[in-house]
Chain A
């Protein structure tokens, strides 16, 4: 392997490690929410620093590779994608920490019936699965799997769209559930953003493997216009 190939292989492994950490953060934040486990939630908040460190390290590594190896073609696209995936993963890490913070701040356990009614658990599981599948798509360079993320993000969007009415019903039925209901709504909003970040990541995977630009196209299968068009 050339020195550049070695660097890119190491960078890919590093991104995969960050991915695993972020997935774990999201899982633990869910467990903390369901079990009302403030200790676990605090652990997520502490480990958020590791996610941030990963982001800085990967940014620096990308910068060094750009400066020292002048990558082109697929190597250049991989590096550009790695930078953006890095940012998206860090944001998902922030979201996990945000959910953990709600658990720490909340004075009462989240009501199982409310979680059920809003489909929050189903949404959470799907968000975690989507994130896992983006990692598999990245590691195996599987653009079919990456493309499947776009449809699955629609499930999260649908749950998010329905949530205001359901939350309103929960509050109407018991005004004392207001703080808890608002936490649930906020978590749903955050999970919807996890879906968006995963979608961005899937677009970057397709960009680096196929050189196709999908972002800002609703249909998800068009390229951006060429210069001057």
Chain B
């Protein structure tokens, strides 16, 4: 499908002999927000880390099958380039503690040795912080350390850092689980805005968050992709009994 940005074909992940993601087939469209949910240990984060090839950084971790980004298998591409095209935001805000807000935003360029003029950096910083709904709050303190910001602001700074590289896809691994409700709300509002320019895949344990922010939801259980459907359908009348048991809290 022309609108597809990322597609998994018979994708499997392993930790040694432990088969944690099993034969996943999924197709995600451009500018969609996808929520990935499932009980702990179901393989959702491992699947997410397989998309940008972070899974293979863990000793003994392997994978099989394909992850196609714009039709090209990421496992045939340079891993650094893959992570350049696919941004990632983690559970705990992790701005570089020794860098200023400004330097944090352009850290991707600095760390990859990409030469960018000061004027271009200024543009990237303002554009990225604006997209992350943080510019107004930090424009007068760009040279303060990123760690001076609140938890919610730090997470939005990490989102700005991901956006700065102009990725095609942004992966979020439980991005609000360490945030208070107000910060969570501001990050969720940001998802809606980011959707205009990016495709987002969000792993979340918060089912109400999945219902609020996503267009489609994937439910993983014991390494399998059990169901992938419109979020409205999933939360009103899921097709699979296991999905229903999970979202209604009747999971044993």
Contact = CB atoms under 8 A, between A and B. Distances in A.
A70 B208 contact: yes
A107 interface: no
B250 A5 contact: yes
A75 B250 CA distance: 11
A4 interface: yes
A4 B237 contact: no
Range of interface residues on chain B?
10 to 19
Interface in B217-251: 235-238, 244, 247-250
Interface string B206-218: 0110010000000
Interface in B144-199: none
B248 A75 contact: yes
A108 interface: no
Contacts of B235: 72-73, 76
Question: Which of B207, B208, B249 has its CB near the most chain A CB atoms (within 10 A)?
Answer: B249
A71 interface: yes
Interface residues of A, number: 12
B181 to A, nearest CB: 14
A175 interface: no
Contact of B237 (A2, A5, A70, A73): A73
A73 B249 contact: no
Contacts of A2: 249-250
Contacts of A77: 236-237
A76 B236 contact: yes
Contact of B236 (A4, A70, A72): A72
A211 B233 CA distance: 11
A56 interface: no
B73 to A, nearest CB: 35
A5 B250 CA distance: 9
B188 to A, nearest CB: 15
Interface in A55-77: 70-77
A178 to B, nearest CB: 53
Question: Which of B235, B244, B248 has its CB near the most chain A CB atoms (within 10 A)?
Answer: B248
Contacts of A75: 248
B244 A73 contact: yes
Interface of A: 2, 4-5, 70-77, 211
Given A72-B248, A73-B236, A73-B248, 12 more contacts: A2-B249, A4-B248, A4-B249, A5-B250, A71-B248, A72-B211, A72-B236, A72-B247, A74-B244, A76-B235, A77-B237, A211-B237
11 contacts: A4-B249, A70-B208, A72-B236, A73-B235, A73-B244, A73-B247, A73-B248, A74-B237, A76-B236, A77-B236, A77-B237
